[in-house]
Every structure is written in structure tokens, then in C-alpha cells.
Structure 1
Amino acid sequence: MGGNLSNMEHGHTSAKSLSSHILTFHSTAKWKAYFDASKETNKLMVIEFTAAWCGPCKYMDPIIQDFAAKYIKVDFIKIDVDELMSISQEFQVQAMPTFILMKKGKVVDKVVGAKKEELEKLIEKHQN
């Protein structure tokens, strides 16, 4: 039993383990398939629209990893606006980072900018 416990503790401290809670999409087709499937569940989905060159996005990275580890019933998705421009246009993303909170395929809330406290309040509000 002690061996299992130490493995679990180790898993929570590694950055790789934390980032595995965040899905990153690199193709529109894969995103569409995932998005369509998500409409069938009542699970909260937090989509982060980001860009490699975006300073505030980099600031939010460890925060989002913490949220993904903390709110395990929430799906965290990362979409690079330069890579999947059609998806960011579909969601009318104007600035980075933009966080869109969705349930059953519908937008329930939105946060524009690196606003940690506001985002966390909205995750808490919509997670159930």
C-alpha cells in the first residue's frame, strides 16, 4: 500500500501529470468530433484560446494546469488561434487568452484576458 501512495503523490507533483488533464487540438476534424460528443454530456468544458507568442497566455499556463488538477470533472481544452483559425473565428475570439465555458454545446460564460480569479469563480459556478 505504501508503494501505491508514494506513486500517487509523485504523479501529482510532476508537470507532465498535470498537463495531461488538458486536451490540445491540432486538427479541426478532431475538435469537431470531440465537440459533438461533448454535447451529449453535462460536463463543463473550458476552452482556452491561446497563441505561442501571447505573454498573458504563458502567464495563465501554470494556472490552467492547477485548475485542471483541481477541477477533475471539468474538461480543459487548449486551442492555438494561429493553428486552428477557423475555430477561433467560429467562437468570435478577438483577444488572447479567451476562455469560453461551455455545457452541452452551448456557451455559458466567457472570460477575456488573464483573469485568474474571475475564471475560477465561473468554473466553480458552472462545474455542477
Structure 2
Amino acid sequence: MGTDDGSKWQIAVVALLIGAGIGLLRNQSNPTPPDDRWFQANVIDRSVPVVVKFGAEWCGPCRSMHQELEKLRSRVSGFHLVEINVDEKPELARHYGVSSIPRTFLFVDGQLVSDLRGSRRADDLESWLADNAGIHR
């Protein structure tokens, strides 16, 4: 009977750890909105999909990504673009787990639906928007 009790405890601990891990993953993929009024107004409360790029002025790939996002904006409508300087808003970067830049997120109806790491071409970004937000040229 002692072995059965030990097995039950092991199963309970494993189940607890799995549950905690799933909760952690869920929070990482769609964290609660930050306590930031500017972000709330410009991203979460928007009625159209929002592309949020985290970057910095000193970052070469971020500058390239900025140009590609401008190309995208000239080709495709129906989304809002927000660029966040990690040096000016480090708390937002931390909140979304930004550890390298550029990092780009897509929010639809205030929910984080997808993200990209690194610089991307406008064509790739256009496909990303179509696949994740249903936005086409």
C-alpha cells in the first residue's frame, strides 16, 4: 500500500507541474495587457489589427525592418502600425519577453496572435498579415 501512495503522490506532482507549465505557456503566448495607457489606446483598444515592432534607433536590422514596414503600409491597408523603442519603453519590452530586436507582434481584437523575430521583407510581412489577420492587398 505504501508504494501505491508514493505513486499517487508522484502522479499528482507531475500533473501539477504540467498544469503550471501549460499556464506559463499560455501567459507567454498571450500575456495580459500591460498596465500602460498609451499601449492600451494604441494597440489593445484598436478596432483593426495592429502590428507592433520593438526596436531601437541604434539597431541596423531595426532600421531595415522600419523600411520594410513602410513598404508594407504603402501596399496594404486595414491595419495599424506601432513602433516601440525598447530604450524608451523597456517595461513593455520586458512584458512581452523581447530579448532581441527587431521583434514584431500582431494583435487582433486586442489579443496577441503571432510574433516574428528578426528583420523581414515586406513580402514576408504581407503573407504573415494575410495568414494571421486575413488582411490582403
Same fold by TM (over 0.5)? yes
Q: Following the alignment from structure 1 to structure 2, what is the Cα–Cα distance between the partners of residues 105 and 33?
A: 10
Deviation at 1:105, TM superposition (A): 1.4
Q: Which residue of 2 aligns with 1:34?
A: 42
Give the Cα separation in 2 of the matches to 1:98 and 1:104. Answer: 20
Question: What is the letter of the counterpart of residue 98 of structure 1?
Answer: R
Alignment partner of 1:45 out of 35, 47, 50: 50
Which residue in 2 is equivalent to 1:121? 127
Deviations 1:56-92 (A, max 9, x none): 0111121111111212211111000110111111111
Question: Where does 1:1-128 land on structure 2 (aligned, <5 Å)?
Answer: 28-38=36-46, 41=47, 43-116=48-121, 117-125=123-131, 126-128=133-135
Of structures 1 and 2, the larger Rg is shown by 2
Q: Hey, what's the Cα distance between the residues in 2 that align with 1:32 and 1:102?
A: 12
Letter in 2 for 1:76: L
Please give the TM-score of this superposition, normalised by the length of structure 1: 0.69
Calculate the TM-score normalised by the size of structure 2: 0.65
> Structure 2: which 5+ residue stretches go unaligned?
1-35
**How far apart, in 2, do the equivalents of 1:34 and 1:77 lie?**
7
**SS of equivalent to 1:88:** helix
Q: Which amino acid counterpart does residue 115 of structure 1 have in structure 2?
A: R
- CA RMSD in angstroms comes to 1.6
Q: How many residues align?
A: 98
| Shift in Å, 1:35 | 2.9
Partner of 1:20: none
State the partner residue of 1:21.
none
Identity over aligned pairs, percent: 22
